[in-house]
C-alpha cells in the first residue's frame, strides 16, 4: 500500500466523502436541468452586458431571450471581432464586449494571421475554471478508490507572457491559472496534493522546472498514485527528459543535493524540503533506467500508479502506443475538455477506452450552441463547415439539449467574458446523454492538418510556407511537382515531415544546404505556436524534407483509387496519416534534409512594443 501523505490537516474520510457526494449531486442537478440552466446563463450574460457596445451595435436592445438573441446576433469567428480585441489590447477600456473589466488576454494555441488568438477574460472566469477542476476527482474517485491516500505526479508548466500595448497581460490559460491564487493558495486537499511544489511549477525556466519536478516525483515515488500532464505530448516529453538526465537526477538523490544548474532560489529551497540523501533509491532508479528496455518504466519507477492522466483525444491520440509502452498499458484517462475561450466539460466515465471518451458539457460554464456539420461523401470523408454563415445556416444552430445522437456539430459559445456566438473551431459528435446534457466525442479541430504538441497548422499555412521555401529552388531550374506532409511522432520530440517530388530541368545538382534552407524557410513561415514549440518548449523537432522519386505521387493516386477514390475528384492530400501511405512515401524517399537551426520566435506580437 502507498504511504499516506504526511499532513496534519488531512480531512476525515467522512468529510471527503460528503464533499464528493455534493459535487456529484451538482453534476446530477445541472445535467438534469440543462435547458433551464442554459436559459439562465444566457439571460445572465445578456442582462449584465446589455449596454456593451457590441450588443448595442447589433441592436439586441437589452433583450435576454434566446429567440431575439439568435435572430439578431451573428455567428462569428475570431477575425470578426479582432478589431474589437485590438482596441482593448491598445488600451480602450470602454465596455466594448463585456461590462466587467477585461483582466487579461488568454493566448490561444489557435492562431490567426500566424499569431496566437487573444481571448479576453475577466477575473470571475477563474472561479468557473476552478469549478470545472473541482469536479474531476470526485468523478474519478467513484472508479478508483483511495486516491486521497497518496499524491499525483503531474508535470505542469508555465509559459512566457507578454504585455499588450495597454499593459494587459497576455498568456496561456494554464499559465494564468497556475499563477492565480486559486491554484497557488489552494487549501489542503488530498486531491490536489502533488509531488511538484508550486515553486517548481511556477519556475519560468523550462529545464529547471522539469528537472525539479522530476526530482521531486522520483523522491516521493512510493506515494505517487497517478501521473500525468495536460496533454500526452507533455508527459512523453517528461519521460524523454528522464531518459536523458537520470544519471544527474540519481546523483542528487544519492547525495540529497540539488544540481548547480538549478539556480532558481525558491525552487532550490522547495526541493530541499523534500529531498533527503537516499542512496538506496538512487541505486534502484539507476538499475531500472540502465536496463535496455524502457517498457513499463512508469510502473517500475512509480509502482503504485493507478492511471496516466493526460489528454489523448483529438490529435493527441497519435501518442497512445508510446504511452501504452511506457506505462505497461495502465488506463489512459482523459478528464476534461477546455479551451482559452471557456472551459467546457468533463469525462464522466474516465476509465473508458481513449477511443470512447466523451465529454459532458457542464451547462453553467457558458451558453452553448451547435452548428450541424456535414461529411462530404467519398473516401476522404472530409468535414465541410462553411467559413462564414448565411442567414439560413445561422438558423440551423441548435441548443445544448436539442442535439441529436450520432450527429456531428461545430461548437459555438457565448461566454461571460464577452464572446457572443463564437465558433470555437472544434467538431464534436454526440455520443450519449447524461440526464438531459449531451456527451460529446471530440472529433477534430477544423482545418488542422499537422500537430505535434499544441501547434495547429492548417492547409493554407502549410501551402504558404511551402511556397516561400520553393523560391530557393529557382536558381536550379527545379520546381515542386507535388508535396504532402506527415506529423512524425515516432521521434521524440515529434516533427513535421514534408514529402517533395521535384521536376528537375536544370543540370546543376541541388546542394543539401539548399534543401536545409527550404526546411528553415518553412519553419520561419509557420505560425507562432509552432515556432514557440521549436524554440522555447523544444516540444517539436527540426522539420524534415524527404525528396521522393519521380512518379511517387502517381503511385499515391493509384493507391487512393484502388481504395475507392474517384479519379475525377482525386486531389493530392496535403497531409497523410494512413500507415500504408506513409510507408509508400518512405519507401520512395531518395534523400532527407533537416532544418539546421531553430526558426525565430519572440513572446508577444511583432507589432507590440516589447520592453
Ligand atoms: P487553447 O485555446 O490553446 O486552450 O486550446 C483549446 C483547444 O484544445 C480546444 O479547442 C481543442 O481543440 C483542444 N482540446 C482541449 N481539450 C481537449 C480534449 N480533451 N481533447 C481534444 N482536444 C482538446
Ligand 1 center to 339 CA (angstroms): 5
Residue matched to cell numbers 474531476: 136
**Pocket test residue of 362, 442, 527 for ligand 1, highest count of atoms within 8 A of CB:** 442
Ligand 1 center to 341 CA (angstroms): 10
Q: How confident is the model over 554-589, as pLDDT tens digits?
A: 999 999 999 888 888 888 999 999 999 999 999 999
**Pocket test residue of 119, 338, 410, 444 for ligand 1, highest count of atoms within 8 A of CB:** 338
The three grid cell numbers given for residue 497, joined into one nine-digit string: 515531415
Q: What is the pLDDT of residue 611?
A: 43
What residues are in contact with ligand 1 under a 6 Å CB criterion? 108-110, 173, 311, 313-314, 334, 337-340, 424, 426, 442, 445, 454
- Among the listed residues 246, 254, 247, 249, the one whose alpha carbon sits nearest the alpha carbon of residue 278: 254
Q: How confident is the model over 437-476, as pLDDT tens digits?
A: 999 999 999 989 999 999 999 999 999 999 999 999 999 9
Between CA 228 and CA 209 the distance in angstroms is 15
SS3 324: helix
Q: Cβ(125)–Cβ(417) under 8 Å?
A: yes
Q: What is the pLDDT of residue 334?
A: 97
Q: How confident is the model over 28-53, as a mean pLDDT?
A: 98
Q: Could you identify the atom of ligand 1 that is nearest to the CA of residue 116?
A: 3
Residue matched to cell numbers 491516500: 149
What residues does each domain of the chain span? 13-347, 449-594
Which has the minimum average pLDDT: 7-16, 93-102, 412-421? 7-16
SS3 284: helix
Confidence (pTM): 0.91
Q: Could you identify the atom of ligand 1 that is nearest to the CA of residue 119?
A: 2
Ligand 1 center to 495 CA (angstroms): 20
The three grid cell numbers given for residue 152, joined into one nine-digit string: 499525483
Ligand 1 center to 380 CA (angstroms): 24
Helices 125-141 and 13-32 cross at an angle (nearest 10°) of 110
Q: How confident is the model over 212-271, as pLDDT tens digits?
A: 999 999 999 999 999 999 999 999 999 999 999 999 999 999 999 999 999 999 999 999
CA 203, 124, 397, 80: dihedral to nearest 10 degrees? -70
Q: What is the pLDDT of residue 2?
A: 36
The three grid cell numbers given for residue 606, joined into one nine-digit string: 511583432
Q: How confident is the model over 472-486, as a mean pLDDT?
A: 95
Q: Cβ(599)–Cβ(531) under 8 Å?
A: yes
Amino acid at each position: 500500500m502507498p504511504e499516506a501523505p504526511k499532513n496534519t490537516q488531512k480531512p476525515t474520510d467522512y468529510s471527503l466523502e460528503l464533499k464528493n457526494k455534493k459535487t456529484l449531486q451538482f453534476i446530477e442537478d445541472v445535467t438534469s436541468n440543462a435547458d433551464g440552466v442554459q436559459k439562465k446563463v444566457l439571460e445572465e450574460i445578456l442582462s449584465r452586458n446589455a449596454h456593451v457596445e457590441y450588443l448595442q451595435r447589433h441592436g439586441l436592445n437589452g433583450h435576454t431571450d434566446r429567440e431575439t438573441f439568435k435572430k439578431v446576433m451573428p455567428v462569428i469567428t475570431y477575425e470578426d471581432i479582432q478589431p474589437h480585441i485590438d482596441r482593448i489590447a491598445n488600451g480602450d477600456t470602454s465596455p466594448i464586449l463585456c461590462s466587467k473589466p477585461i483582466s487579461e488576454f488568454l493566448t490561444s494555441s489557435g492562431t490567426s494571421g500566424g499569431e496566437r488568438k487573444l481571448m479576453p477574460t475577466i477575473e470571475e472566469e477563474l472561479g468557473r475554471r476552478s469549478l470545472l477542476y473541482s469536479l474531476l476527482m470526485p468523478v474519478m474517485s467513484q472508479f478508483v478508490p483511495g486516491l486521497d491516500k497518496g499524491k499525483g505526479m503531474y508535470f505542469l508548466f508555465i509559459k512566457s507572457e507578454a504585455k499588450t500595448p495597454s499593459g494587459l497581460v497576455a498568456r496561456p490559460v494554464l499559465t494564468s491559472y497556475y499563477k492565480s491564487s486559486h491554484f497557488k493558495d489552494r487549501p489542503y486537499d488530498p486531491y490536489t496534493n502533488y509531488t511538484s511544489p508550486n515553486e517548481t511549477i511556477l519556475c519560468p525556466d523550462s529545464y529547471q522546472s522539469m528537472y525539479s519536478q522530476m526530482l521531486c516525483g522520483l523522491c516521493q515515488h512510493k506515494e505517487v498514485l497517478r501521473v500525468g500532464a495536460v496533454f500526452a505530448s507533455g508527459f512523453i516529453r517528461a519521460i524523454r527528459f528522464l531518459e536523458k538526465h537520470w544519471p544527474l537526477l540519481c546523483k542528487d538523490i544519492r547525495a540529497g543535493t540539488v544540481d548547480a544548474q538549478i539556480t532558481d532560489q525558491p525552487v532550490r529551497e522547495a526541493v530541499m524540503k523534500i529531498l533527503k540523501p537516499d542512496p538506496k533509491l538512487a541505486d534502484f532508479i539507476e538499475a531500472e533506467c540502465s536496463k535496455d528496455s524502457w517498457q513499463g518504466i512508469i510502473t517500475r519507477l512509480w509502482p503504485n500508479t493507478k492511471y496516466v492522466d493526460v489528454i489523448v483525444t483529438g490529435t493527441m491520440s497519435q501518442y497512445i502506443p508510446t504511452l501504452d509502452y511506457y506505462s505497461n498499458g495502465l488506463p489512459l484517462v482523459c478528464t476534461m475538455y477546455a479551451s482559452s475561450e471557456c472551459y467546457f466539460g468533463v469525462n464522466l466515465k474516465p476509465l473508458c477506452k481513449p477511443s470512447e471518451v466523451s465529454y459532458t458539457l457542464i451547462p453553467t460554464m457558458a451558453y452553448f450552441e451547435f452548428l450541424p456539420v456535414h461529411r462530404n461523401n467519398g473516401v476522404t470523408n472530409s468535414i465541410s463547415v462553411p467559413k462564414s454563415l448565411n442567414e439560413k445556416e445561422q438558423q440551423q444552430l441548435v441548443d445544448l439539449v436539442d442535439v441529436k445522437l450520432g450527429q456531428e456539430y461545430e461548437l459555438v459559445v457565448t461566454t461571460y467574458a464577452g464572446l457572443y456566438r463564437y465558433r470555437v473551431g472544434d467538431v464534436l459528435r454526440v455520443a450519449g446523454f447524461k440526464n438531459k446534457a449531451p456527451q460529446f466525442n471530440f472529433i477534430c479541430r477544423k482545418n488542422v492538418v499537422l500537430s505535434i504538441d499544441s501547434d495547429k497548422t492548417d492547409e493554407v499555412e502549410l501551402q504558404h510556407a511551402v511556397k516561400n521555401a520553393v523560391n530557393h529552388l529557382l536558381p536550379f531550374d527545379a520546381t515542386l511537382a507535388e508535396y504532402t506532409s506527415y506529423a512524425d511522432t515516432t521521434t521524440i520530440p515529434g516533427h513535421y515531415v514534408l514529402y517533395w517530388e521535384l521536376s528537375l530541368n536544370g543540370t546543376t545538382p541541388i546542394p543539401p544546404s539548399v534543401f536545409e534552407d527550404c526546411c528553415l524557410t518553412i519553419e520561419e513561415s509557420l505560425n507562432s505556436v509552432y515556432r514557440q514549440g521549436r524554440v522555447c518548449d523544444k516540444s517539436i523537432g527540426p522539420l524534415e524534407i524527404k525528396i521522393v522519386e519521380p512518379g511517387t505521387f502517381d503511385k499515391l493516386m493509384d493507391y487512393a483509387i484502388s481504395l475507392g477514390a474517384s479519379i475525377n475528384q482525386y486531389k493530392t492530400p496535403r497531409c497523410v496519416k494512413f500507415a500504408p501511405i506513409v510507408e509508400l512515401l518512405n519507401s520512395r524517399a531518395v534523400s532527407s534534409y533537416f532544418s539546421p537551426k531553430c526558426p525565430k520566435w519572440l513572446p508577444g506580437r511583432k507589432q507590440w512594443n516589447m520592453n
